[in-house]
Structure 1
Amino acid sequence: MTLSNSFNARQILKVGDKSYTYYSLAEAEKNGLKGISQLPFSMKVLLENLLRYEDGRTVTKADIEAVAEWLNNRGKAEKEIAYRPARVLMQDFTGVPAVVDLAAMRDAMKNLGGDPRKINPLVPVDLVIDHSVIVDEFGTPRAFSRNVELEYQRNGERYRFLKWGQSAFENFSVVPPGTGICHQVNLEFLSQTVWTRKDVTAGEFDVAYPDTLVGTDSHTTMVNGLAVLGWGVGGIEAEAAMLGQPISMLIPEVIGFRLTGKLREGVTATDLVLTVTQMLRKKGVVGKFVEFFGPGLNDMTVADRATIGNMAPEYGATCGFFPIDRRTIDYLRTTSRTEERIALVEAYAKAQGMWRTAETPDPVFTDTLELDLADVQPSLAGPKRPQDRVTLDSANAEFRNAMDKEFRKAAEIGKRVKVENANFDLGHGDVVIAAITSCTNTSNPSVMIGAGLLARNAVKKGLKSKPWVKTSLAPGSQIVEEYFRKAGLQDDLDALGFNLVGFGCTTCIGNSGPLPENVSKAINDNDLIAVSVLSGNRNFEGRVNPDVRANYLASPPLVVAYALAGTMLIDLTKDPLGIGSDGQPVYLKDIWPSSAEVQEFIDRTITSELFKTRYADVFTGDENWKKVTVEPGLTFEWDIGSTYVQNPPYFEGMTKEPKPVTDIVNARILGLFLDSITTDHISPAGNIRVNSPAGKYLQEHQVAVADFNQYGTRRGNHEVMMRGTFANIRIKNQMVKDEDGNVVEGGYTIHQPSGERMFIYDAAMRYQAEGVPLVVLAGKEYGTGSSRDWAAKGTNLLGVRAVIAESFERIHRSNLVGMGVVPFVFEGDTSWQSLGLKGDETVTIRGLAGDLKPRQRMEAEIASPDGSVKKVPIVCRIDTLDELEYFRNGGILQYVLRQLAA
């Protein structure tokens, strides 16, 4: 690539006795980019990226000028740019299928007569195995070792495959299981805030530039708290970024979120993030950058910032960015980054106008909103969406309201049922899972130590967790285990059943493990509305545990408090949690630790030495990982008997030139869905039901039910995943109703014109055999939640040509395009309901075969069985020219493969 330097931005930066090449924004401002010092900090990162990659083709002088022009149009001009992140982060659920695709691309490259060695990551890729540990064993000292043992038993095939990838691909490293959650490892170890690399095209010195990344997990945004610009993309986009393709994106709007004041005593960072999430969801920031500014940042730790950054997918933003300041430097030092790197970060940020102080003028934003931190109240969010915040003092009343409006069981409140072989009974609103889990909170010492101190105080008072509560502690990194041990708090957590169960994403992604059989039976036999309280970031329906209908997000100390209370049907601000050993009632205020006490423990236990020691051999792994053996080789030897890893069919029959696109003619409707259908609904991560198509497939392949594992771990096998598409037990296809006219839950549809009810997978296969194309119709915010590439891959493999919705979540829209499925939106206030559709219609969309343009207005012809036809205006949400190329090639992987083969 020959680089241009239109604005003379390439300069030398001296830091101590070392020199670096960098692309100076100050110099570019002098040479034609007027006013760019007023840009939001996150926009400065994008601008630097374009200056560094200006080649006259993928990045032109006009593209760079468009970013400076942002000051006038504030991101509303819909200008497309090519952005190249410094690196890629993966976790194993999404990483395994990405590596499967790379392995399949090597085979396909060979079949096209090319060199398989060309299929290699061109930027650094770190894959952290963190999504495979399940909470089978809990509440005992052996919970950790037993869960690890089961993890390796279940995932041997996947781990062998990843170890092959580690040796087969360059620029690819694997952080073994049991280290921590990818976002926390990224925050504490992998991220540098300012990245460096050798680049002969830019002169003799290493180039210094902002650390940026994309990740195959939507919570990649956590690292925005460390001033690292990163966000989640589908595995499909991540693979393209790994293979050197720029990410095509529109210059974003940037919403400024001004923070003032300080949190009050007793209010946690979790309470703050739930408040921010609710405010930003209400504001509407889907597809936009959010950047935090104002005096409230002066005393805010990076851990608190990361907690807010982490939840960007929940408030719908692309990222929630914090600029570099003194707090960033403090964190880099505490986490044992080198002094040379720390000096570079400070010098670079100051030279680039990326350094924030209390006196820094506020940047220009598209729009702003404001929060006084002193107004934040203790909160939870639930029973099924992260933005549905309830204050702690209203949680009991709001749950009772949900029992009435949501679950239609208000009349049954107070009903208790006997639990077999137990000395307790169970009722609606009982908390059956209390889990300290997930990257959002377990990277934050203030809430973790707060939970430990609350446990200590509860134990001193003689309180115990209720016997029906499944308790667990799954920290985001080994650092937490170390400071709990140093602080002496683990014993107190153990006494309440919060024993260490593993290091990884557990309850938050559906790896909560089964409830005790007798508890599960009592819930299901009596249709009880059981509750989970977790310190996670996701509480969508059917996600946490199949037995649990109501799920609440809360801070780690509140998770412990609800384990003690055992129910949502009391007011924790007024009612006692239980009776102490002295016979007196104990209230939450009696055991809640003070901020000063929490800080004193943090100061005493968290040192840079701790991070240095724990991350010294992060890629080595424990004895279990060392025992995983693998045959090295350029291409992977696929095992046709494997039920975990299979060669996917995307490249079958692929030719050097793409075949022409055809119009969609007389497609049948596979599903009619309402608003907020999540990627969990489309591609569940949790348990595989015995009688589901995926369950039947596994049994046909001699897999015992006990060894099914869950969908998330089987993402390397398309046969399981396409059978799991639209198979969430809580999804509601509005076409499918019972005798009373109520919509049936689960992955069913009505095959047309036969009128037979069947699993969505079975219907899709029947339609494929009949040569009938398919479409899906949905409401607003289709595809919210995790950046799950299988929600798009499975849709493609089922034969769905298009999804027509009222609106899409950002990542899922681009993933659909990346898999060759066209996303369309209805124009104006039109919806499938307003059109009176029943699901027995056929849909024709012409114009795809012609000269299609990004965001082209088109028409869907919807024909009813009575012969009437509605002509419905729709907009094609293939947004950019690059996306159009991906679509014409049948998907992004085919496009990249053809480019490399050529």
Structure 2
Amino acid sequence: MTVTVGHDLSKTRKTLTAGGQTVHYYSIPAAEAAGLGEFSRLPASLKVVLENMLRFEDGKTVTVDDIRAFSTWGANGGQNPIEIAYRPARVLMQDFTGVPAVVDLAAMRDGIKGLKGSAAKINPLVPVDLVIDHSVMIDEFGHPRAFQMNVDREYERNMERYVFLKWGQKAFNNFRVVPPGTGICHQVNLEYLAQTVWTDTDQNGNLVAYPDTLVGTDSHTTMVNGLAVLGWGVGGIEAEAAMLGQPVSMLIPEVVGFKLTGQMREGTTATDLVLKVVQMLRKHGVVNKFVEFYGEGLDHLPLADRATIANMAPEYGATCGFFPVDEETLRYLHMTGRDEGRIALVEAYAKAQGMWRGPDYDPIYTSTLHLDMGEIVPAISGPKRPQDWLPLTEAKASFAREMQASFKRPMGVEVAVEGQDYKLSSGKVVIASITSCTNTSNPYVMIGAGLVARKARALGLNRKPWVKTSLAPGSQVVSEYLNAAGLQEDLDAVGFNLVGYGCTTCIGNSGPLQPEISKAINEGDLVAAAVLSGNRNFEGRISPDVRANYLASPPLVVAYALAGDMNIDLTTEPLGTSRDGKPVYLRDIWPTNKEIADIVHAVVTREAFQKKYADVFKGDAKWQAVQVTDSETYDWPPTSTYIQNPPYFRGMSPRPGVIRNITGARILALLGDMITTDHISPAGSFKASTPAGKYLTERGVPVSEFNSYGARRGNHEVMMRGTFANIRIRNEMLDGVEGGYTKGPDGQQTSIYDASMAYQALGVPLVIFGGIEYGAGSSRDWAAKGTALLGVKAVIAESFERIHRSNLVGMGVIPFEFTNGDTRKTLGLTGDEVVSIGGLEGDLKPLSLVPCTIRYADGTEKVIQLKCRIDTAIEIEYVQNGGVLHYVLRNLAAA
């Protein structure tokens, strides 16, 4: 496709030759020579953003002052938070978040016709790749046919969605779909889609090189930062705007430098390293900031380990976790089958732009941290948050403390399992899953898991019978090298059979536990445990039957499956007994670093990657058999319970409205600290008794066919009923009640959905109150879409996570932050108050302070100041239009 560029007003466009071709590029040294500022000591991650300014400089959306601001950033010690318009090169989506994005594009094609515009105007303007990776569920496990049976079930459940996506692939330009069963979007991106340096032709037919950048509709898009590709997660709303040519409005970020020195010790893994990094960066505070890794320790850190660290940027709260281009970047590009000419260009371009990490790499950072990797010890995180780091030596004692402090349940309660010869008690590991992009991209930990299985098998150990085991690699290449090493057979022998290629347990697609195990857990009110090699372990996410969730390396996942219990100290107590009756300890089955490295070097080859990615968009026979029409607009099936035309654009006027004060609003929910998008956005399974379950039941869908909220993201009726319906959410308006409940207009307890409908019928606006880091977690667009459809006009919190704040604005919901030390607690809120917010009409400026009047149930009033978190001028226009998509649609219709 043709790359769009600005007018090069500062004359920074130059040429370089590499890999047998001459390319044009926008030179940072040339910008310095032109007198625009001093840029040489900017971090490489920020130079990527600066290049974007040079390339798109047009005097309007990007000005020379925007470019000079980067020099000021360096002079000010790494701070100059001015607003800039940033344009990523491409967009990456997975199917859970991608389906509603494509639904919105299809709805916009209908909507633009209502504004007398052409449907053909609605197309992505940048390359978009959607990888179907979130739909496979672990119904079958622990046997050789598990993979095929899960795939068959996936197609049965999701055919409506797959027909729709295949229609989108034909209907829209610049839109590709990677079929089911290929891998996880982030691993496919790392191993195949990403190029580190992107090239396209301009309007004059010249080849232009520029950094590979992207936004993705999944927060773990940051994984590709390990390959020196700047990318981060955004909501589907922001991604759609980027697809449609809108720049990402952002402030020049602070950049935290994280210096790594030393080398990993024997017996430690990349997972142990990243869990420590998460803890340190969460404590430091990096929300809305870039993190860039540097230091001589990178000389000993394989790219797979870098990707593991980059992947978990959302867990440490940063926008990205970037690793500059160096020799290891080039080695990985070669190993994964990238074109040799492209690899030569990456090296030449990085060196020409000052983005190369060599021995003299010494940029300015806003602040720095340091970690000696030689100090890393084996660890896990849990039981509720990724930053809850635990040395493995303390895991057993910590679980006992959590039982008393967090779960408030006694130890020692045992429940017999129906039809089995064992009992369950709190702490039993009922799910052990090697899953998620974080670790399954890393051959060192995957080979390590295989070797643990091999040594355990040789000694006669097996998983405990109550443990649901699963292996869900991030790409088919993983199976290729596990089979080549003979390790898949060993993993199979201890229950870790292949169950699918995709995000499974980590996103709640763990599938049901055996009925008798689920029954015992619930009868005894037990705190069952899950151990997974993922990145997310929030409450209610992994399984409705599991309360304690721990993140661990793949080798430790295998070890915990063998032990079957969190009440065992793996560092001192035996995992089990060998065939000859001797106790087997973790040290007996743990491989050496050399054993792992030798196998990695033998079986992880360039040829393996080239073979598995040779025809990545073709899909299996089932995908090829999916038939679709050639229609320009989608023929919405009226009876579909998966795909429905959303109401956002119905009856739209050609002109935007104005922002109004919020008057007489009632409180829909009063929420605490760290309310994540898992709490807000529908995810995982749901029961027939929920509003979403009732909706499907009324339409003749049996419970066995409910699938998951994620699979039904294309149906707003299901999703709005599931918003704030997490089984572990606690609305402080109600005493001791868990789940999606609140008080309705009559003051009685009811579901949040039913209360919302009742208030909306009365014409009463709604607000939500929260604590710190409201909206932490995944970049779920439905956390904002559902909030808007429930009639919420404002969310008032102590602080917001970056993505969710932006998504609320993108749906026309205004975020506000408390000031002057006010909180929901200091104000004594109970949920019975009436809330009015002024200062929004007229000439509202970004980040304005506005008055909020709270009228209590006894008639007294208090006026407080709120900071309006509409952060930029363009966001004000979005809210005036009712959301970013409405803004884009009106502009396209008028063009």
CA contact (8 A) 1:74 1:253 kept: no
Encode CA deviations 1:678-699: one digit per residue, 9 max, x unaligned: 0010013100211000000000
2:664 match: secondary structure? strand
Q: Give distance in 2, aligned partners of 1:311 and 1:561.
A: 23
Q: Which amino acid aligns with 2:610?
A: K
Take 2:495 and 2:578, find their aligned partners in 1: how far apart are those partners? 17
Kindly provide the CA deviation profile for residues 710-749 of structure 1, in whole angstroms up to 9, marking residues without a partner as x: 1000000000000000000000000012xxxxx2000000
The answer to whether the 8 A contact 1:95-1:235 is kept is yes
CA distance in 2: counterparts of 1:444 and 1:519, whole angstroms: 32
1:317-396 → structure 2 map (5 Å cutoff): 317-357=318-358, 359-396=359-396
- In 2: Cα distance, 1:690 partner to 1:680 partner: 20
How far is the alpha carbon of 1:414 from its aligned partner?
2.4
CA distance in 2, matches of 1:632, 1:643: 22
1:559 to 544, 557, 566: 557
Aligned partners of 1:520, 1:892: CA distance in 2, in Å?
Answer: 44
Kept in 2: contact 1:435–1:507 (CA 8 A): yes
Does the 8 Å CA contact 2:9/2:58 hold for their aligned counterparts? no
The Cα of 1:74 is off from its aligned counterpart by 4.0
**1:207-606 alignment to 2 at 5 Å?**
207-357=208-358, 359-409=359-409, 412-606=410-604
The Cα shift of 1:829 comes to 2.2
Secondary structure in structure 2 of the residue aligned to 1:668: strand
What is the CA distance between 1:596 and its match in structure 2? 0.2
Q: How big is each residue's C-alpha offset from its partner over 1:513-541, in whole Å with a ceiling of 9 and x where there is no partner?
A: 00000000000011000000000000000
Deviation at 1:135, TM superposition (A): 0.3
| Equivalence for 2:740 | 747
Higher mean C-alpha deviation, range 73-82 or range 250-259: 73-82
- Secondary structure of 2:731's aligned partner: strand
Offset at residue 34 of structure 1 (A): 3.3
Aligned to 1:206: 207
> How far apart in 1 are the matches of 2:72 and 2:535?
36
Q: Which residue of structure 2 aligns with residue 783 of structure 1?
A: 775
The CA deviation at 1:785 is 0.5
Give 1:843's aligned residue.
Answer: 835
Instruction: Pick one of 14, 26, 29 that aligns with 1:26.
Output: 29
Checking the alignment, whether the CA contact within 8 Å between 2:817 and 2:868 is kept in structure 1 is: yes
Which residue in the other structure is 1:12 paired with?
A: 15
Distance in 1 between the 2:70 and 2:235 partners?
Answer: 25
Candidates 138, 142, 165, aligned match of 1:162: 165
Shift of 1:780: 0.3
Q: Percent identity?
A: 65
Q: Distance in 2 between matches of 1:72 and 1:803?
A: 37
Distance in 2 (alpha carbons) for counterparts of 1:620 and 1:639:
26
Q: Aligned to 2:403, what secondary structure does the other structure show? A: helix
The answer to whether the 8 Å contact 2:799/2:817 transfers is yes
Whether 2:864 is the aligned partner of 1:864: answer no
Is the 8 Å Cα contact of residues 681 and 726 (structure 1) preserved in structure 2? yes
Distance 2:513 2:464 in 1: 14
Matched, 1:52 2:50: no
User: In structure 2, do the counterparts of structure 1 residues 801 and 74 end up closer, same or farther at CA, with 3 Å as the change threshold?
Assistant: farther
**Contact residue 413 and residue 524 of structure 2 kept, 8 A:** no
Partner Cα separation in structure 1 for residue 162 and residue 19 of structure 2? 44
Count the aligned residue pairs: 891
Q: Counterparts of 1:819-830 in structure 2 under 5 Å?
A: 819-830=811-822
Whole-Å Cα distance in 1 between the matches of residues 8 and 621 of structure 2?
51
Offset of residue 7 of structure 1:
3.2
1:884 is aligned, of 863, 873, 876, to 876
User: CA offsets, 1:765-801, max 9 Å, x none?
Assistant: 0000000000000000000011000000000000000
Instruction: Report what 2:617 is aligned to.
Output: 619
- Unaligned runs of 5+ residues in structure 1 are 738-742
Question: Matches of 1:12 and 1:735 in 2, distance apart?
Answer: 63
RMSD value over aligned CA atoms? 0.9
2:431 partner SS: strand
Gaps of 5+ in 2: none
Report the alpha carbon displacement of residue 703 of structure 1 after superposing the two structures with TM.
0.5
What pairs up with 1:134-149 in 2 under 5 angstroms? 134-149=137-152
Secondary structure of the residue that 2:511 maps to in structure 1?
coil
**AA paired with 1:745?**
E
Structure 2 residue matching 1:650: 3-state secondary structure: coil
Once the two structures are TM-superposed, the CA of residue 29 in structure 1 deviates from its matched residue by 1.2
Q: Which amino acid aligns with 1:312?
A: A
Match of 1:765, as an amino acid?
M
Q: SS of the residue aligned with 1:37?
A: coil
One-letter amino acid of the counterpart of residue 748, structure 1: Y
- Answering whether residue 108 of structure 2 is matched by residue 115 of structure 1, we say no
**Amino acid of the residue matched to residue 406 of structure 2?**
E
The letter of the residue matching 1:288 is K
Q: What's the CA shift string for 1:419-459, capped at 9, x where partnerless?
A: 00112111110000000000000000000000000000000
Letter in 2 for 1:373: M
Report the Cα offset of residue 9 of structure 1: 1.1
* CA contact 1:727–1:747 (8 Å) conserved in 2: yes
Q: For residue 5 of structure 1, report the CA deviation from its aligned partner.
A: 2.5
SS class of match (2:732): strand
CA distance in 2: counterparts of 1:293 and 1:685, whole angstroms: 36
In 2, distance between residues paired with 1:26 and 1:417? Answer: 70
Answer yes or no: is 1:182 the counterpart of 2:185: yes
User: With structure 2 as the length reference, what TM-score do the two structures score?
Assistant: 0.99
Aligned to 1:764: 756
Residue identity matched to 1:537: N
Q: What is the one-letter code of the residue matched to 2:776?
A: T
Q: CA deviation at 1:16?
A: 4.3
- Distance in 1, matches of 2:838 and 2:78, equals 32
* C-alpha contact 2:533 2:557 (8 A) present in aligned 1: yes
CA distance in 1, matches of 2:71, 2:135: 45
Is contact 1:438–1:504 with CA below 8 Å preserved after alignment? yes
Q: Alpha-carbon deviation of 1:408?
A: 1.1
**Aligned: 1:193 with 2:196:** yes
Cα deviation, residue 361, structure 1: 3.2
Question: In structure 1, how many angstroms separate the alpha carbons of the residues matched to 2:183 and 2:64?
Answer: 43
SS at match of 2:733: strand
Tell me what 1:740 maps to.
none
2 CA distance for matches of 1:75 and 1:362? 14
| Deviation of 1:204 (Å) | 4.6
Cα drift, residue 652 of structure 1: 1.3
Scaled by the length of structure 1, the TM-score of the pair is 0.98
For residues 400 and 531 of structure 1, what CA distance do their matches in structure 2 show? 13
Cα separation, 2, equivalents of 1:624 and 1:3: 44
- How do 1:662-681 and structure 2 match up within 5 A? 662-681=660-679
Report Cα offsets for 1:806-844 as digits up to 9, x if no partner: 000000000000000000000032101110011000000
CA distance in 2, matches of 1:35, 1:78: 17
Residues 24, 209 of structure 2: 8 Å contact kept: yes
Q: 1:718 is matched with which residue?
A: 716
**Quick one: which amino acid aligns to residue 327 of structure 2?**
R
Q: Residue 170 of structure 2: SS of its match in structure 1?
A: helix
Q: Is the 8 A contact 1:224 1:319 kept in 2?
A: yes
Partners in 2 of 1:171 and 1:6 — Cα distance? Answer: 29
Deviation at 1:477, TM superposition (A): 0.3
